[in-house]
Structure 1
Amino acid sequence: MLLLQIADIHFRHPECNTPDMDPDRVYRTRLLSDVKERVRALGPVGAILVGGDIAFRGIEAEYTAALAWLKELAEVSRCPIERVFVVPGNHDVDRSVITKSFAVQNVQAAISSAPAERREKLLRAQFMNAETGRTLLEPLAAYNEFAKIFSCQVFPPERLYWKQSLELEDGVTLRIHGLTSTILSGIHGLDDTRESLYLSPLQTILDPVDDVVNLVMSHHPPDWFKDHDEIEDAVQGRAAIHMFGHKHRQRIARDRRYVRLAAGAVNPDRYEPGWQPGYNLVNVKVEGYGAERKLLIDSHLLAWQTNPEMFRPMADGTAGEIFSHSVAFPSRHLGNPVSLSPVRLEAAQRTEAIELPNDSVEASMSDEHTRNLVFRFWKLTASQRREVSLKLGLIERSELKLPEPERYGRALLRAGERGLLDALAYEVAEKENNHGR
């Protein structure tokens, strides 16, 4: 599966909504052209992973422009728009909300100033409380409105981060964990400093399940967190692929247990030292069987050059323009597929896929058809979403005052839990058909 990794797009209003006055537009346009050419050789993109800083000030107008561009990116990469996954960055935090709200300042300060041994417990208590949990997320309100159509919004008390699954070869699942690195971002309305943020073990469970490859994406890399040592231990030991942004530096690090990719930035500040837009294409493939099975990861790091203007692959020393790496990924099922007939092998693979451990309904809703249904659901009018959700019993009337990303995000999860996805699909289709009459 080919993954497209980008970060730090920094859609800035009003420039991004007045294209003829947006000096950064050209780099995004060049990136679209470059992706279009590369997928002709590499094949279609299976998922687009957006590592935060989508906006610049975290306001609605910036996400309107971002969504339009991401739709273009999905089209040229031949990737369904439903396979776009996003996490928030510090520029997706609306700091004006923090400076105007003592409630937000107080809950952030309480967690930040807590002794290390009490911080995790306090974050859990604050996030699981209906009032303080929503207060923590108020600066991400515009981001959540944008992220909801991709099922990447966060809400209390159960969704501090998200995870989604994609199928690789031979019954292997790629599980993407989208971490929320911005809970303490913009504290007191100020810039973040190294080790000023907090992630917590609540987000790094990354359960090492058989036949599941964990991929972690977060805007901030581990060294920006107060608990960076614990994060490094968890991520390195439990995830085979790490994707970070924020630093605007395009890098790759390879270890026998994992590969770590820094996305660079689609639109870094043109006046910052070392300015260089970039993005990554990462091909992930399973090879071998049983004890010999490996995850093969070929990374194409595309960096901007000025004269002539274009994206060019970064070189891997004498190894060419592809950074190749393999991570051992043995299976507990150590049989030899050669001894099976093609029919029996296919049946065995189907059985393994069916019995794949799944600790989350959310992960099971990552199926392409279900994600498409979610996308269509959000395209209904507000009154249609309300009518469908109430009809199927997916929300209570007492929940109608909740923010939409939380209200209907929870309703969609309930549809999966209660086996009502087919019924939901029928109701959505009915609304779509009636709208077209």
Structure 2
Amino acid sequence: MFLLILIFWSDNWEAFTKKLWDYLSMLLLHISDIHFKSPECLDVHQDPDRSIRTRMMRDLAEQVKEHGNVDAILIGGDVAFKAAKEEYDTAWNWIQELALSSGCSKKQIFVVPGNHDVDRSICKDQVPTQSAQTMIALARPNEREWRLKQQLEHEESGQSLLAPHAAYNDFAAPMGCQIWPDKPFWHQDLDLGNGVKLRIYGLTSTLLSGHNGKDDVKGSLYLGPRQTALDPEPNTVNLVLVHHPLDWLVDEDAVDDALSNRAALHLFGHKHRQRAVMAADYVRIGAGAINPSRHEQPYQPGYNLLNLEVSGTGQDRHIEVNLMQRRLQDAPERFVAIANMQGGDVFRASIPVPEEAPLPNLKVASPAVGEVETAIISKDLASVVSEKDAEAAMGEPNTRDLLYRFWQLTSAQRRKIAQDLNLIEEGEMRLPEPERYGRALIRAGERSLMNEVAAAVANLES
């Protein structure tokens, strides 16, 4: 009997260890610059870029056989080419194909905007948008942060600044990755295991993109400190997903310092150049374009696979990072591995994530006489903490499933749910839907009403 068990065990050892590895690690697919361009992309038989995307999917399917299913897809911007609705509709169909071929749930897809996700015609033709961008772009360095805050907090200017992202926001809302004036970036949590959370920050480098309808100039874009606060919570690994690399930002040095100190993983797009910096405390990765311009030289479509595994305990706990970069070669036309300096196929890093005690819970007691002002400040702080946690929780699988189902309802059905549960505040009905219901869903999380939202969605689906 023992011999039979041993034979069975040895025959299945490879499959067993592969399943165990898949369970203990997280595989991320990092892609960028897909550039769905209409009208060409609307006909699969005449889309000159379709073949490259198909080859990429087939190569990815082979990688999945070796490394396991993809757990999340991170898209670094430039999904569209001119921010047209039909480009996003076509892109979404392909992205679902990509998820299916990689074994990834379509609910585990995250995205940030790129410069091609900005409607430049709005930047060119709408004076309020021109004015908002110009006020920030021409501000003195010591006033730029204040100017951005001023424009975002002004009701009309804030909406004007985000207006060129309207089609992107419609596309991104089911993923919980839309942006609005007082939330120009998003963050969501995934469970890495072993007591560690992966917090994905989707930053927006495109608030000034398309200024006056023109191409962006290197060094002219702006993130600002509110996007790089990146709260270093205990037992949390911060991953930053952003379209533009640092040298495209006017606040390059400040952003570099913030990311280097507060985030372990930095993922960029835009340049169409695959690069990897495997430092002691962080990993910085550039994505190749899935579909660069066919006139671009060298023409090198590419994608990244990033495997994360938490190992060790206590002060010796680390996150092991294995990066595999794949690039198209032209003859024969197929994707191949980019070699590291030692000739291997994997770039490796080990980043310390020592175990830390959780922060104390914030408790707000009823104020005693003479303590009213302090209590008000504490309640405001409690609200901020609650909102942050509610948005981060959008990364949970059940919640992401609910997001997709909610956004598949009609506009009238979404409105009914939000109003029935009192999730819409005064004046919010005039906001764009991605912002209106994005606020409502976060509010539902803050008020512990997500089960009620789920029940209402299920009732309308039946």
Same-fold call, TM cutoff 0.5 = yes
Residue 279 (structure 1) aligns with? 303
Could you tell me which residue of structure 1 aligns to residue 195 of structure 2?
Answer: 171
Give yes or no for contact 1:5–1:50 (8 Å, CA) kept in 2: yes
State the shift of 1:414 in Å: 0.9
Aligned match for 2:70, one of 45, 65, 89: 45
User: 1:403 corresponds to which letter in structure 2?
Assistant: P
Describe how 1:107-122 pairs up with structure 2 within 5 A: 107-122=132-147
Find the aligned partners of 1:36 and 1:243 in 2 and give their Cα distance: 22
* Residue in structure 2 matched with residue 185 of structure 1 by the alignment: 209
Residue 95 of structure 2: aligned partner: 70
Q: Is the 8 A contact 2:122 2:163 kept in 1?
A: yes
What amino acid does structure 2 have at the position aligned with 1:29?
A: T
2:266 aligned to which of 222, 239, 242: 242
SS of the aligned residue for 2:395 comes to: coil
Using the TM superposition, give the Cα deviation of residue 357 of structure 1 relative to its aligned residue in structure 2, in angstroms. Answer: 11
- SS across alignment from 2:37: coil
1:331 equivalent in alignment to 2:360: no
* Number of equivalenced pairs: 411
Which structure 2 residues correspond to residues 380-419 of structure 1 after superposition, within 5 A?
380-396=409-425, 398-419=427-448
* Equivalent runs, 1:343-382 vs 2, <5 Å: 359-382=388-411
Task: List aligned pairs for 1:220-235, cutoff 5 A.
Answer: 220-235=244-259
Is the contact between residue 186 and residue 203 of structure 2 (CA under 8 Å) also seen in structure 1? yes
Q: Which runs of 5+ in 2 are unaligned?
A: 1-25, 358-384
Alignment of structure 1 residues 6-85 onto 2, 5 Å? 6-85=31-110
Per-residue CA deviations over 1:231-289 (Å, capped at 9, x if unaligned) read 00000111100000000001111111111110110000010121100000000111111
Please give the residue correspondences for 1:62-211 in structure 2 after superposition, counting only pairs within 5 Å: 62-157=87-182, 159-211=183-235
Alpha-carbon distance, 1:398 to partner: 3.6
> Letter of the aligned partner of 2:120 in structure 1?
R
**Contact 1:277 1:304 (8 Å CA) reproduced:** yes
Deviations 1:328-366 (A, max 9, x none): 221236xxxxxxxxxxxxxxxxxxxxxx99943100222
Query: How far apart are residue 400 of structure 1 and its match?
Result: 2.0
The amino acid that maps onto 2:42 is N
For 1:78 and 1:380, how far apart are their aligned partners in 2? 26
- Give percent identity, aligned residues only: 49
Contact in 2 for aligned 1:390/1:396 (Cα 8 Å)? no
- 2:278–2:348 Cα contact (<8 Å) kept: no
Amino acid at match of 1:307: A
CA distance change for structure 1 residues 232 and 242 in 2, over 3 Å: closer, same or farther? same
Structure 2 counterpart of 1:53, one-letter code: D
Match of 1:19, SS state, is: coil
1:253 alignment partner in structure 2: 277
The amino acid of 2:247's aligned partner reads D
Structure 2 SS opposite 1:201 = coil
Could you tell which deviates more after superposition, 374-383 or 388-397? Answer: 388-397
Aligned Cα root-mean-square deviation (Å)? 1.5
User: C-alpha separation between the residues in 2 aligned to 1:357 and 1:413?
Assistant: 10
Aligned partner of 2:339 in structure 1 is 315
Distance 1:145 1:365 in 2: 17
Alignment of 1:418-429 (within 5 A): 418-429=447-458
Report the Cα distance in structure 2 between the residues aligned to 1:241 and 1:273, rounded to whole angstroms. 28
- Between the aligned partners of 1:271 and 1:42, the Cα distance in structure 2 is 33
Q: Distance in 1 between matches of 2:103 and 2:283?
A: 25
Structure 1 position 153, deviation (Å): 0.3
Question: Corresponding residue for 2:287?
Answer: 263
- CA distance in 1: counterparts of 2:267 and 2:53, whole angstroms: 20
Distance 1:50 1:108 in 2: 25
SS at match of 1:103: helix
Task: Give the CA deviation at 1:123.
Answer: 0.5
Distance 2:78 2:279 in 1: 27
1:311 shift after superposition: 0.8
1:399, distance to aligned residue in structure 2 (A): 2.2
Q: Answer whether contact 1:209 1:357 (CA < 8 A) is retained.
A: no
Q: SS of the residue aligned with 1:2?
A: strand
Partner-residue secondary structure (3-state), 1:82:
coil
CA–CA distance in 2 between the matches of 1:83 and 1:132?
A: 33
> For the Cα contact (< 8 Å) 1:207–1:238, is it kept in 2?
yes
Larger Rg, first or second structure (1 or 2)? 2
Aligned counterparts of 1:251 and 1:317: Cα–Cα separation in 2:
12
TM-superposed CA distance for 1:3, in Å, is 0.2
Query: Is this contact kept in 1: 2:386–2:446, CA < 8 A?
Result: no
